[in-house]
């Protein structure tokens, strides 16, 4: 049986919540980290690279509980959100909408690519693509084209994850060769359709927000099921949403989000196990 783990976007708290859920499920005997295919979008690309690295999920979870120290919180402010909505909602053409968002991202004032790359590199236990199949999503900032990086793409794992996490207006687009790339969540917060063909699919979705021509998670899941896949979606429950708070880019919320994910795993373990086998 082929099994796919789909990890959606959701900021630093999304990373923490996903690792909490994964750790909690593993403690209940449901280990998702051995998936045949891992799909990572934005925050999910960080988690995907981490769980495919060979580092135990318990260790990855414990790292989320550490004091963030001097790590500075970023914020997806209302002005940036308004610009994203305006750019993405002006057309029903997905690529055109994403290209407009890409142009906004390129023009925005953000930290340097070098400083952001160092942050991404520090979050990855290894720098090499794993032997297991890992798909990392991004968007071409100029064309709006949806891009899926993997081991054979000729792009480093650090650059692929950095591109997938390049939130427009907050972090700089990532340069690879003569192209620049932005957050894969600008196509879909989850990109669950990339798991097509897997017999069992578990989706961890810190957020499923969609605007403009973005494909909706519900439609992606319905398509997977109609093709014969068994699918379960896990999203933050009320306690997890409270722990995450309003700013998903605030590292001070990381530990609480991780603990909430760990606690939520108890409630969803049976449902997930029924799909995972």
Residue 138 belongs to a domain: yes
- Span 194-241, pLDDT tens digits: 999 999 999 999 999 888 889 999 999 999 999 999 999 999 999 999
Unique residue bearing structure tokens 């359709």: 193
pLDDT reading at 90 higher than 90: no
Q: Interhelix angle for 43-51 vs 113-123, to 10°?
A: 40
**Domain residues for 203?**
3-72+110-276
Residue 209 lies in a domain: yes
83 inside domain: no
Residue 206 lies in a domain: yes
Helix and strand element counts for the chain (H, E): 10, 8
Q: Active-site residue numbers? A: 42, 183
Is residue 152 assigned to a domain?
Answer: yes
Residues 6+ apart with CB under 8 A from 81: none
Please report the pLDDT score of residue 137 as a whole number: 98
Q: How confident is the model at residue 34 (pLDDT cuts 50, 70, 90)?
A: very high
Number of domains into which the chain is organized = 1
* Helix/strand/coil for 44: helix
CA distance 264 to 19: 12
- Percent of the chain at pLDDT above 90? 88
Which comes out higher in pLDDT, residue 74 or 262? Answer: 262
pLDDT at position 267 over 90: yes
pLDDT at 91: 76
Instruction: Read off φ and ψ for residue 245, nearest 5 degrees.
Output: 75, -165
Residue 251 has pLDDT above 90, yes or no: yes
What pLDDT, on a 0 to 100 scale, did the predictor assign at position 277?
87
pLDDT at 35: 98
Q: To the nearest whole number, what is the mean pLDDT of the chain?
A: 95
What pLDDT does 85 receive?
77
The answer as to whether 268 is a domain residue is: yes
pLDDT at 48 over 90: yes
- List all residues 6 or more positions away from 27 whose beta carbon is below 8 Å from its beta carbon: 265
Rounded alpha-carbon distances, angstroms, from residue 96 to 65, 80, 118, 164, 215: 40, 18, 31, 19, 14
List the single range of 81-85, 173-177, 180-184 with lowest mean pLDDT: 81-85
Question: Alpha carbon 235 to chain centroid distance?
Answer: 13
Residue 92: predicted pLDDT: 82
Average pLDDT over residues 117-130: 95
pLDDT in tens, 149-173: 999 999 999 999 999 999 999 999 9
231 DSSP β-pair partners: 201
Residue 64 lies in a domain: yes
| Cα three-residue angle 165-171-172, rounded to 5 degrees | 100
Q: In this predicted structure, what is the pLDDT of residue 168?
A: 95
Assess if residue 86 is contained within a domain. Answer: no
């Amino acid at each position: 049986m082929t099994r796919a783990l789909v990890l959606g976007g959701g900021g630093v708290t999304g990373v923490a919540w996903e690792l909490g859920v994964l750790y909690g499920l593993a403690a209940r005997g449901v280990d998702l980290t051995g998936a045949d295919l891992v799909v990572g979008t934005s925050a999910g690309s960080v988690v995907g690279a981490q769980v495919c690295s060979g580092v135990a999920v318990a260790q990855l979870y414990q790292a989320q509980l550490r004091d963030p120290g001097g790590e500075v919180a970023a914020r997806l402010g209302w002005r940036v959100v308004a610009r994203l909505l305006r750019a993405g909602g002006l057309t029903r053409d997905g690529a055109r909408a994403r290209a407009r968002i890409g142009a906004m991202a390129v023009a925005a004032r953000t930290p340097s690519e070098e400083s952001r790359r160092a942050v991404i590199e520090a979050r990855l236990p290894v720098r090499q693509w794993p032997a297991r199949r890992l798909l990392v999503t991004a968007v071409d900032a100029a064309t709006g084209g949806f891009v899926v990086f993997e081991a054979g793409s000729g792009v480093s794992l650090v650059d692929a994850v950095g591109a997938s996490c390049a939130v427009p207006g907050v972090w700089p687009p990532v340069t690879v060769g003569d192209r620049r790339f932005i957050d894969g969540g600008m196509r879909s917060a989850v990109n669950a359709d990339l798991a097509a063909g897997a017999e069992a699919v578990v989706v961890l979705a810190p957020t499923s927000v969609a605007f403009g021509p973005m494909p909706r998670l519900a439609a992606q899941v319905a398509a997977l099921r109609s093709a014969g896949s068994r699918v379960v979606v896990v999203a933050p429950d009320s306690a997890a949403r409270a722990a995450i708070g309003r700013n998903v880019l605030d590292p001070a919320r990381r530990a609480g989000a991780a603990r909430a994910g760990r606690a939520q795993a108890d409630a969803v373990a049976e449902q997930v196990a029924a799909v995972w086998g």
